[in-house]
Amino acid sequence: MSGKAMACLILSGAILLTTTLSSAEGLSAIVKDHLGSPTLFVNGEPAVPMMFLGRTFSMEGKDWRENYMAQAKLAAAAGIHIQSFDVGMPWPKPGEEADFSGVDAILDAMVANDPEVLMLPRFGVLPPSWWYEEHPGHQMLFSDGQKGQFSVASETWRNDMERHLRAFVRHCEAKYGANMLGYHPCGQHTAEWFYDRS
């Protein structure tokens, strides 16, 4: 596969959920050939092909906003409005409502910091500990008897994850649709979809 084809595939995958689940008021994003290269178009216009990638968790007792927002402002001033950052996808127990307050706190801060921000949040699809307790046979099982993370072959995990993912995307699109570029689900070893121990 050529480098251009791979870049197009990666960009297309990153914005796939937006194009399939977005609201009517949300932005439109598509990757297509432009002047011989795969190019991201946002609302019909070519986007700056750069992204600010940051971490939204506290390190060494410091609030993440202290460093992230200052750097994101510099990126915005340079015309870079695409931002990718960590956010937690709620995974409530059956019968409980999802709590999106943590998600909203981060996304509200992003929009307040840069009203033109095009957000590409990264989030884990790893179930919480209670899920493993309720579904002990749905983890990877190694030859030494040790268990790993969820098994991607588990229909139970796939169904539960899909339900929570759809709720997450619908919430983000309803509240932040004009700023949601796409979604980056992360899982397995190093959050890059490698099997445990690989």
Domains assigned to the chain: 3-186 (3.20.20.80)
The string of DSSP letters for 38-56 reads EEEEETTEEPPS--EE---
Q: What is the pLDDT of residue 103?
A: 95
Exposure b/e, 94-116, CB count within 10 A at least 16 = b: eeeeeebeebeebbebbeebbee
Cα 21-88-181 angle, rounded to 5 deg: 35
CB 113 within 8 A of CB 69: yes
Which residues of the chain fall below pLDDT 50?
A: 1, 3, 5-24
Enumerate the H helices of 135-154 as residue ranges. Answer: none
Model pLDDT for residues 55-89, shown as the tens digit of each residue: 887 666 677 777 888 899 999 999 999 999 999 99
Distance CA 63, CA 5 (A): 39
Q: What is the pLDDT of residue 11?
A: 44
